[in-house]
Amino acid sequence: MRLPADARSIDHAARLLREGSTVAFPTETVYGLGADAASQAGVAAIYRIKGRPAGHPLIVHVLDAAQAAWWAELDDRAQRLAAAFWPGPLTLILPRRAGAPAWACGRETTIGVRAPAHPVARALLAAFTALGGQGIAGPSANRFGKVSPTRAAHVVDDLGDSVPLVLDGGECEVGLESTIVDLSRPVAVLLRPGGADAAAIERVLGVALAVHEAGDTQAPRASGTLAAHYAPRTPLELVEPGDLAARAREWLAGGRTVAVWSVRAPLAEPAPGLRWLAAPAEPVAFGHALYDTLRSLDALQADRILVERPPAGRPWEAVRDRLGRAAATFTESAP
């Protein structure tokens, strides 16, 4: 059931969570599939609905640092980052507090926590807390590994009636998942770029963030860090701007169809089988449009999606991360 996110439906959603059920709700990043993070049955329902591997941790959404401390050990670094960025799109990976429920931890000794900024998410957390809840486990409300939802309609398209209630709070403001920083070790590590600016995080910490390397066996597992993720159904390929026209012609040869997302049209002349959507030239706007556009490109049912590779540099880091993982799902590259 999809309902406008008014006070009545938010109160109903909070009661469903306390009963061990699931609800989908908007955050400033993407829509989340929520359950009581302290409920074994509720968290198990998230894994079942998403088809998510059991060892892949969830993020626990909380109202503030005080509520986060019910779940995790917050050192001085965590306190400073929470003060600077919460509520907002920053997830902290921290040592789980002794005695805190581990259902959302994916067998890790650490736990991911964040305080979302979206007014509906905060109202839901407040109503849930008033009923005795301590936090809402909330991965993206879609099938595991697929394109994240930034509208309530995306949740319904992906999960159908497997979720009892979808709170419709409109389009997500950021449109990309939260930045994830690992503070479970002495050196702060950027596990996933996202909605919170890494340079601003470094200014608060007073040190540079280490970058997660594939061979770092000590790093805790975290949401959205698999090599292949965020993938549409149609095979997607990242193409350098100078190679886009030639690559589009290769895919159009022999009557194939291709959908292209780029700043400029890939071909000067119209071509049967080519569908082109204009991409924003600015990183924040690109990130905001990313998942909604991938769904639109997917709906064209082309043989291949070609996306112009975004520029290098930190402002584009989160976008490049998501597109790289989406493209990694598909290994065949020849037309």
pLDDT tens figures, 125-164: 999 999 999 999 999 999 988 999 999 999 999 999 999 9
| Residue 216, domain member (yes or no) | no
- Nearest residue to 228 (alpha-carbon basis) of 208, 243, 214, 216: 214
CATH number for 27: 3.90.870.10
Domain end position, chosen among 178, 211, 244: 211
| Residue 220, domain member (yes or no) | no
The dihedral sign for the CA sequence 104, 105, 111, 114 = negative
| Residue 72, domain member (yes or no) | yes
Lowest-confidence pick of 27-41, 75-89, 129-143, 223-237: 223-237
| Residue 229, domain member (yes or no) | no
Structure tokens at 157: 């398209």
Same domain, 132 and 187: yes
Same domain, 131 and 247: no
pLDDT tens figures, 179-211: 999 999 999 999 999 999 999 999 999 999 998
Residue linked to tokens 């690992």: 182
E strands, the chain, where?
A: 2-4, 23-25, 32-36, 59-61, 90-95, 110-114, 136-137, 165-168, 179-182, 189-192, 210-211, 236-239, 258-262, 274-278, 304-308
pTM, two decimals, is 0.93
Domain span including residue 317: 236-328
| Residue 198, domain member (yes or no) | yes
- Nearest residue to 167 (alpha-carbon basis) of 116, 108, 205: 116
CATH number for 251: 3.40.50.11030
Same domain, 91 and 180: yes
Q: How many domains does the chain have?
A: 2
Question: In angstroms, rounded to a whole number, what is the distance separating the alpha carbons of residues 84 and 197?
Answer: 12
Identify the pLDDT of residue 227: 58
Alpha helices for 131-223 (secondary structure H): 152-159, 198-205
